[in-house]
Amino acid sequence: MSIHKIDIGGLVTPNNIFLAPLAGYTNAVFRDMCRRLGAGLTFTEMVSAKGLCYGSAGTRELLLNLPEYDGIKACQLFGSEEEYLRRAAQSEELAPFELIDINMGCPVPKIFKNGEGSALLADIPLAARLVRAVKESGKRVSVKFRTGITGDKLVTADFARAMEDAGADMITVHGRTRDKIYSGEVNYSEIARAKNAVKIPVIANGGVFTPADAQKLMDETGADGVMLARGAMYNPFLFAEITGRTDFDRRECIERQLDLTYRYYGDRFATVYMRKMIGFYVKGCAGAAQLRVRLLSSDTRGEIESLLSLIQL
C-alpha cells in the first residue's frame, strides 16, 4: 500500500487514508479517535447549508471540534442553492474549517427529492456553480460524488472535469450509482476514468473493510488515496492496520471515546451511540454476540463500562 501525503490546494495531509463523512457517526470524538489511529483527513457529518444560514442549533452541534484535534479541519456541506452554499462557506461557524467538501453523492430519498446530494449528478452546470459559490469563501473545496444516478447514465469523467474546472481542489468518487445506495460492486473503472480526466487529487471510496480492500481499490483505480466509510464505522482500528500504526491500545481508545462522548454530547446521546459503537468494535471477540444483546439494553454509562470490562479486546 502506497502511503503518502496529499496536497489539497496547499493543505497537505499526513497520509492518503481518509475518513468519510457519515451522518450520525462522524462526530467530533469519533473523528479525533480516527485521527489518532492514523486517518490523514476526517470530515464532519454532512451539514445543511440552509440550516446553517438559518441558525439551526442542531446544525451547529455538528461543527464541534475537540480542542486537542490537530488535523486539518474539514466540513461537508449539502445543498442545491448557490446563495446558501456561499453564505454558509463564509459564515463565522465555518471559520475554523480549512476545507469544505460539497456532498453530491448522498442517495437518501429525502435529500435526493430535494434536488440535493446525488440529484446534482443530473445537473452538472448547477453543480459547478455551487463549487464556484463555495470557492468565493477563499477556502479549499472538495466534492464527493457518485458515478451516476443509474447504471445506464454514468457521468463520472464529465462530472470530475466540471468540478476541476469550477475550482475544486480535490474530488472523492464513490464507485457506485445512486440507485445502488451502499450495496453492489464498486465500479473501479469509473473511478479510474475520473482519475485520468483531472489533475487534482482523486480519492476512491467504496467497499473498504480490510487493508486488502484498500490496496485493491488503489491498484484498480490509480487513485491518489482511499476513503473509508462503513469500514471505519465498524472498525476504526482499520486506519492503524492500513497505515502500519502500532502505538495504541484498543481498550484505551474505546474508553477514551466513551469518556469524551459523555463529556461533550451528554448522557442520552452518549448511551445510545456508544452501546451501538462498542457493539461494532467487539465483533469477532469471544462472547461478543451475548455482549451486544446486553449492550443494547444498557441505560447508563456504568452498565456500558461494566460490560466492556468483560470482553477480551
Active centre residues (catalytic): 106
State how beta strands 202-205 and 225-228 pair. parallel
CA angle in degrees (0–180, nearest 5) for 243-212-174: 90
- 99 burial level (CB within 10 Å; 0-12, 13-18, 19+): buried
Grid coordinates representing 54? 438559518
Intra-chain end-to-end CA distance of the chain, in Å: 26
Looking at the chain, which runs of residues are DSSP E strands?
A: 6-8, 11-13, 17-19, 42-48, 73-78, 99-104, 140-146, 170-174, 202-205, 225-228
Would you say 15 and 3 are in contact if contact means Cβ atoms under 8 Å apart? yes
Would you say 118 and 178 are in contact if contact means Cβ atoms under 8 Å apart? yes
Looking at 9-164, which runs of residues are DSSP E strands?
A: 11-13, 17-19, 42-48, 73-78, 99-104, 140-146
